[in-house]
Amino acid sequence: MSLTELLTVRWLTWISLPVLGLLLSAVVQTAGSVETPLSAPPAVPESQRLDAAVERLNQYFQQRWQQAGVQPVAQADELTVFRRVSLALFGCVPALAEIKAFEQDQQPDRLDRWIVRMLRDERFGRYFADRLARSLTGVEQGPLFIFRRDRLRDWLAEQVLADASWARMTRDLIAAEGLWTDQPAANFITIARMENEEIDETKLAGRTVRAFLGQRIDCAQCHDHPFDPQWKQPHFEGLAAWYCQATVSLAGVTDFDRDKAEQPVVYRITEPGRDSESGRTVDPAVPFNAEWLPATGSLRSRLAAWVTHPKNRRFERAIANRIWGLMIGRPLQDPVDDLPHPEDSAAPDALDLLGSEFRNRGERLSVLIRLIALSQPFNLSSESSEQDVLLLKQQQQHWAVFPLVRLRPEQVIGSLFQAGRVRMVDQNSHPLIRFQKLTSENDFIQEYGDAGEDELNPQSGTITQSLLKMNGRFTAESLKVDLLSGPAEVLQLSPDDATVIENSFLMCLTRRPAAAEQQYFLEQLKNNRSQAVEDLFWALFNSPEFSWNH
């Protein structure tokens, strides 16, 4: 649907705002109207540059394209790439102030320097922590009082902002002890406590392999894996046994000492309907490379060391695949948490190249993020001139064209909120603005729908979602020309109508208008300028281009 057609729909779907909402919006916007100029980020230190690793990754894809007889599309423009990075790291489109500063920065390695800056921004910490938390604990509420998703998310945010080792974070999560409030990593364990106050070892075993090794083995709890002969039921039971010492009490998460306990702490499997003492016992075991296990330590700490062992390729491949999916919207291997077994004799693939650099650089997520964002596949256009459907599918299969991916719900609301404001909505914004953003996001996602734990699976839009964007309360609040709202600021700060249109397009779509679009809205601005700007923002918010990563 074109922008002009959308404007026709707007008049049929417009719903007025309550007076209270208008007043609150005006107060909030006024409170945060101080602008902080952005300077260009400094050069990346030589020791932190990734040029050689990026070149190796690009060579891999170039060889893959050549072998498949696939021609990659042209490069995307840098503003489009900047939008992709902002959506991936912040969950929203870049602010107008960021776009202007990015364009004015003409120093070398502009994109990498801006990514490094973004990785130190609290917006990245909060947004990425939520993505990681979903992979670790799903989206369920968990046991009342003893599971604190907010504390886990805050801890993850602190870790990623500190550029902590993912291997160390993983060990902290698997072997966590203490209160779920003081030791937030313990929430990885407490979410598995059942109503009988015992830990569900099977839940933790399945989650451990899925989140940290990138493989789904849940069905092996009851029988051998039907599609993967390398996963047997005894493998699952042996992994679950590593959690048999864990217990949750008012003192927090602790481990029973098997040697000092009055009765040995063992993992016992019972048949349904039978007495718990009549089942068979299972010793802790791992399905492969038992030599990676430390000889001493608690059961969970030994399991954590095995999972993160430097030779365990599954660990690095799993997180590389997930970060690729979070950056681009589609993982290299789909589904993101059901990877094939790595073959020792096979030539290194993209996951191996990413994982190797990840290991060599201290197992830091920032390395994966930068490496992916600087790679050729990430910087390709999403537009292909290929008319043959089969050849187009080959381009998509081999990452010779950037995939079109529908924005996840939190990206939609984050972009709506940011696009309605000239300045960045970040940790420096007025507390009222941050509070408004938080409540708006929660309300919007509740109505729009949450993508859930499997957020990297393809999502289809619904009529309800389209209607919510067209005439929902939040859309109306964002586009209203009222005091110092975003559209009002555009009118005030732009020297002429052409600049009004340009800034509006940059705020919403991170691009400038085409000649036909510019001419159309110039005609509209000749009459009621406030109404025309509201109509412009409404059309941009509801355009397909706004709702897709491209």
Separation of alpha carbons 501 and 508, rounded Å: 11
Q: Are residues 409 and 545 in the same domain?
A: yes
Asked if residue 328 belongs to a domain, the reply is: yes
Contact 199, 189 (CB under 8 A): yes
In a domain, 384, yes or no: yes
Residue with the bigger pLDDT between 290 and 465: it is: 290
CA distance 504 to 510: 9
Alpha helix stretches (DSSP H) within 398-430: 409-419
Q: Specify if 378 maps to a domain.
A: yes
CB atoms near residue 207 (< 10 Å): 22
* pLDDT digits 0-9 by tens, 508-548: 999 999 999 999 999 999 988 888 998 999 899 989 999 99
Contact 313, 355 (CB under 8 A): yes
Please tell me the distance from the alpha carbon of residue 308 to that of residue 49, in angstroms, as a whole number: 25
CB–CB of 422/489 below 8 Å? yes
Tell me the HSE value of 88 on the side-chain side, using a 13 A CA sphere.
28
For residue 199, what are the β-bridge partners? 193
Q: Are 359 and 466 found together in one domain?
A: no
Top-confidence residue, 217 or 357: 357
- Domain boundary among the residues 297, 331, 356 is at 297
pLDDT at 224: 58
Looking at the fold, whether 484 and 507 belong to one and the same domain comes out as yes
Query: What are the distances in angstroms from CA 516 to CA 3, 80, 385?
Result: 11, 20, 22
Same domain, 285 and 331: no
* Domain annotation covers residue 62: no
Does 12 map to a domain?
no
How distant, in Å, are the alpha carbons of 131, 152, 208, 320 from that of 451? 11, 20, 22, 21
Residue with tokens 């537009």: 383
SS3 332: coil
**pLDDT tens digits for range 414-432:** 998 899 888 888 777 777 7
Average pLDDT over residues 255-271: 65
Q: Which residue range is the domain that position 538 belongs to?
A: 405-549
Give me the pLDDT at residue 479, please.
Answer: 61
Whether residues 511 and 416 fall in one domain: yes
Both 438 and 511 in one domain: the answer is yes
Alpha helices in 384-510 (DSSP H): 389-397, 409-419, 431-448, 463-471, 473-479, 486-493, 497-509
Backbone angles phi, psi at 260, to 5 degrees: -95, -10
| Strand segments (E) across 114-225 | none
Does 179 have pLDDT greater than 70?
yes
* Residue ending a domain, choose from 255, 273, 297: 297
Q: What was the pLDDT predicted at 197?
A: 79
The string over 500-533, giving b where at least 16 C-beta atoms fall within 10 Å of a residue's C-beta and e elsewhere, is bbbbbbbbbbbeebeeebeebbbebbeeeeeebb
Long-range CB contacts (< 8 A, 24+ apart) of 19-26? Answer: 21/473, 21/477, 22/480, 22/482, 24/436, 25/436, 25/477, 25/480, 25/482, 25/485, 26/482, 26/483, 26/484, 26/485
Mean pLDDT estimate for the chain: 86
Q: Are 449 and 379 contained in the same domain?
A: no
Q: Identify the bridge partners of residue 186 per DSSP, sorted by sequence position.
A: none
Cα–Cα distance measured from residue 429 to residue 518, given in angstroms and rounded to the nearest whole number: 32
> How many domains does the chain contain in total?
3
Verify that 320 and 293 share a domain, yes or no: no
pLDDT tens figures, 30-49: 333 334 468 999 999 999 99
- 377/507 same-domain check: no
Q: Are 410 and 544 found together in one domain?
A: yes
Q: Is 47 part of any domain?
A: no
CA triple 108-113-118, angle to 5 deg? 155
| Same domain for 377 and 342 | yes
Q: What is the pLDDT of residues 338-360, one digit of tens each?
A: 998 887 667 899 999 999 999 99
